[in-house]
Amino acid sequence: MSYGLTIKNRTPDELRQLASERRELAHPKQRRTKALLLSEARLLEHYADLRSWVERTRPDDSGDDLLGERSTIQSAPPSEPHDLAPFLTTLSLRMALPVADQHALLTAAQLPRRLAKGESVIAEGEHLSAFLLLCSGAAHAVRTLENGGEQVSAFYVSGDALNPGDLALGRSRTSIRTLTPAIVIAVSIRELGTLMERRPAIARGLWRETAFQAAIQREWLAGLGRKSAEARLAHFLCEVACRLQIGGQDGETFELPLTQRELADILGLSCVHVNRVLQQLRHRKLIDLDRGLLTIRNREALYRTAEFDPAYLKILEPPHSREEADGSR
Amino acid sequence: MSYGLTIKNRTPDELRQLASERRELAHPKQRRTKALLLSEARLLEHYADLRSWVERTRPDDSGDDLLGERSTIQSAPPSEPHDLAPFLTTLSLRMALPVADQHALLTAAQLPRRLAKGESVIAEGEHLSAFLLLCSGAAHAVRTLENGGEQVSAFYVSGDALNPGDLALGRSRTSIRTLTPAIVIAVSIRELGTLMERRPAIARGLWRETAFQAAIQREWLAGLGRKSAEARLAHFLCEVACRLQIGGQDGETFELPLTQRELADILGLSCVHVNRVLQQLRHRKLIDLDRGLLTIRNREALYRTAEFDPAYLKILEPPHSREEADGSR
DNA sequence: CGGCCGTTTGAGCCACATCAACCGGGGTGG
DNA sequence: CCACCCCGGTTGATGTGGCTCAAACGGCCG
């Protein structure tokens, strides 16, 4: 709290300064403390980036509209460790928000929240009070059954909205948990409501994001219902690779912060079987997975065994893109 | 076409007259022709009802807003064979549209289209050009895999929007097919675009409907991933019963226009196994299913074996219901 | 009456679950 | 610093839910 008030008054550069101090401090410490400090540094940097971005784009507010979407990405600050890119990609591409609306949305957001690994972002059945955007890290939505079994219904990476659909309905039957330390931005539902009244693009954006995630769910349905364990696993890996790539990250080699147990709950398998199928894929030289680092060795073949077609992840131009940003007045 | 132009100029009462003529004609005919005539009658009646409803509610346009939602349902015409109720329930409850917006949406709609059983409404990958609302009949969204297997990702009954999510994304990987003769209303994407600009409630409504269907999909995911065949089947039956009931139909005994093959594709099972599981449920006196007519004999027990909780089908009040309809100007 | 589609029933099999044990690394406590 | 432990991954043995193949049945339509 008081911490929040403090950093809110700093300039982005001051924030970056604070961040690097923490990084230096972190060096000699033990693992635990080190991780904490680093995570704090990341949070500060992220916030700094965000503030810079908002300040930089403020002038354009109701100005350029047509080139808005493209120019967004290029104007993102080239900050190394903590990239805003995936995040802005989602806003501008998937949600098709003009810069002015991105700006409005981010300005309305509360301070980024830092979450530890395994923390629960939304509990099952909880009353929803804010729109959540995952800025860094990974998370998943879990549904727990009476017999103790769990089924994951969504996997989120940086840039994804955590609960666009539940927000429209007011509650959720899944609980959302982080899989890594994560940074989340929240826009309270009240703010969002007033925003949407003035900025129809934001409502449409939430609709698009909801639809996007529903499309992914449909693929999962097809997999769970009709595909072999191997195909399901391969498909999931393809999907994550693609989504990361679209977010601007490396799609060949990346962190996959999931235990085999968690993979099993995504794929509807037992963790023992996940293990065996993973090895199958390794032996066939399609992938490598070691200590959470996944490498795709033969994308072609992986796509084929997964029956994967990335089309559903690529977004078409919004149906009516001759949009006016219609100011904030 | 020319047919369409003709009926467009008739009054609702004339339309009803035409419909009952067809019903009389149908009596002595053979099965095939009879079915055609009856279906034509239903279409005419539906259109008549719709027109009456629109005319009746026109005066209220930008008038009452707060009591709008409730008053809608009551003002629906009590037409016997062809009920508008499920349909208006969706618009007003699930999409939370004030009457004025319902009216605007329906006025923008093209003439209802009649579809035969098994007809394809949207083909896989087709370019979407309209928002579709199922007024009567049933349909499902199918994803076909390379090995010939099919997985159903959605089941639609009267009142459901057929493609709210795909509409936001511009294309779909599933094809939507009717399961019975059906009547569909379409609003072209162009009209919808201009509508949404003036009426934010419509955009929000589409978002809500998308989210609603996504919530159902998540339940299916949990079932496919983690439940036994029996539980899955039971759950599906509970879901349909509940949805029909919410739409105003009988939730104890109703038509389930699905072959065992189609049930299998919904549940991710083989049709042989669906048969056996159905018999299990029959022997346990939980249900009866004969010739497409389903009867729930022990709802309590059925819910328990399905691990079914209808909460996810009930919609909460819209998060910010202190909405103004803000006219059409 | 004959063909077709959907349902029913049986026999055998396979993908995946379950149970159980072991391993290896990293964090913890003594 | 070492011993321990816990968690996640790995491996084997065995069980089973649901699949496949195959054939008979029954109603509906031509």
**Chain B residues in contact with A219 (beta carbon < 8 A):** 173
CB A32 under 7 Å to nucleic chain C: yes
pLDDT of A120 reads 92
B contact residues 238-257, partner A, Cβ 8 Å cutoff: none
Q: In the structure, what pLDDT confidence band is assigned to residue A81 with cuts at 50, 70 and 90?
A: low
Q: Report pLDDT for B209.
A: 96
**pLDDT of residue B297 exceeding 50:** yes
User: B323 falls in which pLDDT band (50, 70, 90)?
Assistant: very low
- Residue B55 to residues A78, B33, B49, B61, Cα–Cα distance (Å): 58, 33, 10, 11
At residue B309, the pLDDT reads 95
| More reliable by pLDDT, B72 or B306 | B306
B270 CB less than 7 Å from any atom of strand C: no
Interface test with B, best of A191, A197, A226 (most B CBs within 10 A): A226
Find the CB nearest A307 among B146, B197, B315: B146
Q: Which residues of B touch A316 (CB under 8 A)?
A: 169-171
What average pLDDT does range A285-312 have in this prediction?
94
Which residue, chain included where needed, has tokens 């235990």? Answer: A259
CA of B32 to C1' of C1 (A): 21
A97-145 pLDDT, tens digit per residue, is 998 899 899 889 888 888 888 999 999 888 888 999 999 899 999 999 9
- The per-residue pLDDT for B65 is 43
User: Hey, are the CB atoms on B211 and A210 less than 8 Å from each other?
Assistant: yes
When the pLDDT of each residue in chain A is averaged and rounded to a whole number, the result is 83
Contact status, residue A296 vs residue A287, Cβ threshold 8 Å: yes
Could you give phi then psi for residue A94, rounded to 5 degrees? -70, -40
B70: which residues sit within 8 A by CB, 6+ positions away? none
CA-wise closest residue to B313 among B85, B133, B90: B90
Say which nucleotide is closest to residue A32, CA to C1' distance. C27
Residue of A nearest to B199 (CA): A200
Q: Are A199 and A101 in contact (CB under 8 A)?
A: yes
Contact between A238 and A310 (Cβ < 8 Å): yes
Tell me: pLDDT of A160 over 90: yes
Report the distance separating Cα A216 and Cα B163, nearest Å. Answer: 15
A229 touches strand C (CB under 7 A): yes
> CA of A267 and C1' of D15: distance in angstroms?
22
Q: Tell me which residue in B197, B210, B222 faces A211 most closely, judged by beta carbons.
A: B210
Position A18 scores a pLDDT of 74
Contacts B170 to A, Cβ<8 Å: 315-319
At residue A79 the predicted structure's pLDDT band, cuts being 50, 70 and 90, is very low
Confidence check: pLDDT of A73 > 60: no
pLDDT digits (tens, 9 = 90+) for B50-93: 777 766 665 444 444 444 444 444 444 444 456 778 888 888 88
Query: Mean pLDDT score of chain B, rounded to an integer?
Result: 83
Handedness of CA B254, B255, B261, B262 (dihedral sign): negative
Residue by residue, DSSP assigns B70-116 as: HHHHHHS---SSS--HHHHHIIIIIS---HHHHHHHHHHS---EEE-
* pLDDT tens digits, one per residue of A202-211: 999 999 999 9
* Rg (alpha carbons) of chain A, rounded to whole number: 20
**Closest-CA residue of chain B to A313:** B169
Say if the Cβ atoms of B267 and A225 lie within 8 Å. yes
More confident residue, A20 or B212: B212
Instruction: Flag whether residue A97 sits within 8 Å of chain B, measured between CB atoms.
Output: no
pLDDT digits (tens, 9 = 90+) for B101-111: 998 998 898 88
- Is B24's pLDDT higher than 80? no
- On the question of pLDDT at B324 being above 50, the answer is no
Question: What per-residue string of b and e applies to B142-159 under the rule 16 or more CB within 10 Å gives b?
Answer: bbbeeeeebbbbbbbbbb
A170 touches chain B (CB under 8 A): yes
Q: What per-residue confidence (pLDDT) applies to A287?
A: 96
Say which range, A128-132, A137-141, A320-324, B118-122, has the weakest mean pLDDT.
A320-324
Model confidence at A259, pLDDT cuts 50, 70, 90, reads very high
- Rounded Cα distance, A207 and A167, in Å: 10
pLDDT band at A235 (very low <50, low <70, confident <90, very high): very high
Closest listed residue to residue B217, CA positions, set A35, A324, A165, A296:
A165
pLDDT, tens digit, 9 for 90 and up, residues B195-224: 998 899 999 999 999 999 999 999 999 999
Using the predicted structure, report yes or no on whether residue B2 has a pLDDT greater than 60. Answer: no
How close does chain B come to A7, measured CA to CA in Å? 32
Nucleotide C19: closest residue by CA–C1': A272
> A316 near B169, Cβ under 8 Å?
yes
| pLDDT interval class at A8 (50, 70, 90) | low
Nearest CA-CA partner of A47 in A23, A89, A2, A11: A11
> If you average pLDDT over residues B233-260, what whole number do you get?
94
CB contact under 8 A, B217 and A221: yes
The answer to whether B285 contacts chain A (CB < 8 Å) is: no
Gap between the Cα atoms of A222 and B174, Å rounded: 10
* Residue B151 in contact with partner chain A when CB distance is under 8 A: yes
> Average pLDDT of B39-53?
72
Residues from chain B contacting residue A221 (CB–CB below 8 Å):
143, 151, 153, 217, 220-221, 224
Pick the more confident residue, B26 or B21. B21
pLDDT band at B310, cuts 50/70/90?
very high
Predicted model pTM: 0.85
Q: Between the CA of residue B57 and those of B72, B159, B201, B202, B274, what are the distances in Å? A: 8, 19, 18, 18, 46
Query: Do B302 and B286 form a contact (C-beta atoms < 8 A)?
Result: yes
Q: Which of A94, A128, A192, A221 would you mutate first to test chain B, the one with the most B CBs within 10 A?
A: A221
In this complex, do A221 and B166 lie within 8 Å of one another by their Cβ atoms? no
Decide if pLDDT at A41 tops 70. Answer: yes
- Residue B34 pLDDT greater than 70, yes or no: no
A322 pLDDT band, cuts 50/70/90, is very low
Rounded to whole angstroms, how far apart are CA atoms B291 and B197? Answer: 47
Q: How far apart are CA A134 and CA A151, in angstroms?
A: 21
**Tell me, what's the pLDDT at B66?**
42
Per CB-CB distance under 8 Å, the chain B contacts of A315 are 169-170
Q: Which amino acid is at A162?
A: L
Q: pLDDT category, A29, cuts 50, 70, 90?
A: low
Chain A, 194 to 223: residues with Cβ < 8 Å from chain B are 196-197, 200, 203-204, 206-208, 210-215, 217-222
**Which of helix, strand or coil describes residue B240?**
helix
pLDDT at B57: 61
Between the CA of A30 and the C1' of D4, what is the distance in angstroms?
20
A293 CB-to-strand D distance under 7 Å: no
CB contact under 8 A, B164 and A220: no
Q: Which residue has the tokens 């690994």?
A: A117
The radius of gyration of chain B's CA atoms, rounded to the nearest angstrom, is 20
Does at least one atom of strand C sit less than 7 Å from the CB of B293?
no
Does the pLDDT of residue B17 top 90, yes or no? no
> Which residue in A has a C-alpha nearest to residue B197's C-alpha?
A200
- pLDDT at res. B122: 92
A156 has a pLDDT exceeding 70 = yes
Alpha carbon B246 to its chain's center? 12
Q: Using the CB atom, is residue B229 less than 7 Å from strand D? A: yes
The pLDDT score that the predictor gives to residue A74 is 45
Q: Is the CB of A268 under 7 A from strand C?
A: yes
A79 vs A316, more confident: A316
Cβ atoms within 10 Å of B78's Cβ, excluding its own: 8
Residue B240 pLDDT grade (very low, low, confident, very high; cuts 50, 70, 90): very high
pLDDT surpassing 50 at residue A2: no
Closest CA to B46 of B139, B183, B171: B183
Interval B132-170: pLDDT, tens: 999 989 999 999 999 889 999 999 999 999 999 999 988
Tell me the chain A residues in contact with residue B226 when contact means C-beta distances shorter than 8 Å. 145, 149-151, 268
